[in-house]
Structure 1
Amino acid sequence: MRTSVEIKTSSWKQKNDYTIAQAVLDAFKWNWNTINNSIYVQVMNGQVTLTGKLEWHYQKEAATRAVNNLIGVKEVVNNISVDSKLIIPINKKNIKRALKNHVALDYASIVIAIYKNDIILKGTVDSFYQKELAEKITWKTPGVRNVKNNLKVIHEPIEK
């Protein structure tokens, strides 16, 4: 899964790639959620590409957040993989309960498939917001290594 955030900067904020790379490494040192010796950084024309392996999805998200506001960064491509060493049995009921407890989701139309520690979400939701929300909630389940979001957005016409 490729996560990309593009940021436009004015000309006075231009930095060379080496300076940006140093700023990224410094940002990782200050961010306790990232493990900086597990992340490799490449900068080309202001595009920061992150690779490596981390144990938790929140660490991957924290890596993007740590660098996307740095001066000179035009785009962040997060190719970090999540590879938890812990194999925690995932209980489908816990995921369903978490989805059910969120008022913005119609959990009944979401089907959850589990293969080892990978989760596949299928079914339908009413909006892209709900699709993204279901994925975020699923990622918070302990032991999840990967989430494939195959939810389809179906817009129901409003009857007058």
Structure 2
Amino acid sequence: MKKNNDVLLKEVKEAIKWEPILNSNDIDVSVNDGIVTLGGTVDNYTQKKEAEQTVKNIAGVKAVVDDVKVDLYFSAIKSDTDIAASVVKVLRENWAVPDHLLKVTVENGWVTLEGILHWNFQRKAAENAIRYLEGVRGVIDKIKIEAEIKNEVEKEFVEKALRRSWLLDIDNIRVRVDNKTITLSGIVSSLFQKEEAEKIAWNTPGVWYVDNELLVEFD
């Protein structure tokens, strides 16, 4: 049964309150037809991302609008130069990130990543490494994916990979392949499933882009 706004609002607030690193008094929540908007301020970027992910995992949430601001403690404020040095260091130390392919710029605590990587997991590894650094207010991802593998993307292989996941009902998901782009459409029952399907599609050898058009409908 579809959750009304009041029920979903209550569950979102309870989920945020349940997370030990979040202070529910700092985060404002509004709900409209399954779309959850988060506002307020938190102490660091990690809390901002944790709040967003917590809400995405709730059944009935179709989308999340993250308007939470990061208001750093005075002691946590770093210069852009110091943040840039920390970013370069943490990327260099992460085995999953080919840091020599990335360009890093920092402005007012916002880190921008640019460059071309071969796999989406490398992009995610870079983002995740940065989110825990002190002084970071946000991350802007401008990384492009261009696979080294020249093989054509096979629709059948994508469908088999999706079918292997017990989290997904492949009968409700349609896959379209156009050269090196994979398009997912159809219906899933949660935002978590939508992201899981996209993650699996991104693991396809040779893919350059995934267009996730899946709709979330909670019954």
Name the TM-score, length of structure 2 as normaliser: 0.66
1:3 is matched with none
Letter in 2 for 1:70: L
Q: CA RMSD in A?
A: 1.4
1:128 is matched with 191
Higher relative contact order (CA 8 A, sep 6+): 1
Structure 2 residue 206 is matched with structure 1 residue 143: yes
Helix, strand or coil for the counterpart of 2:150?
Answer: coil
2:115 is matched with 52
Matching residue within 93, 98, 123 for 2:161:
98
Tell me which stretches of 4 or more aligned residues in structure 1 moved more than 4 Å: none
Gaps of 5+ in 2: 1-43, 46-69
Structure 2 residue 172 is matched with structure 1 residue 109: yes
- 1:109-135 Cα distance to aligned partner (Å, 9 max, x none): 111010111100011111111111110
Question: Which range moves more in the overlay, 11-20 or 32-41?
Answer: 32-41
Structure 2 residue 132 is matched with structure 1 residue 73: no
Percent identity at matched positions? 35
Helix, strand or coil for the counterpart of 1:98?
Answer: helix
User: What is the aligned length?
Assistant: 151
Gaps of 5+ in 1: 1-5
- 1:5-64 Cα distance to aligned partner (Å, 9 max, x none): x81332211100000001111112111222222111111111101111111111111111
Structure 2 residue 80 is matched with structure 1 residue 17: yes
Structure 2 residue 112 is matched with structure 1 residue 28: no
- 1:80-99 Cα distance to aligned partner (Å, 9 max, x none): 10112322222222221221
2-structure distance, mates of 1:95, 1:56: 16
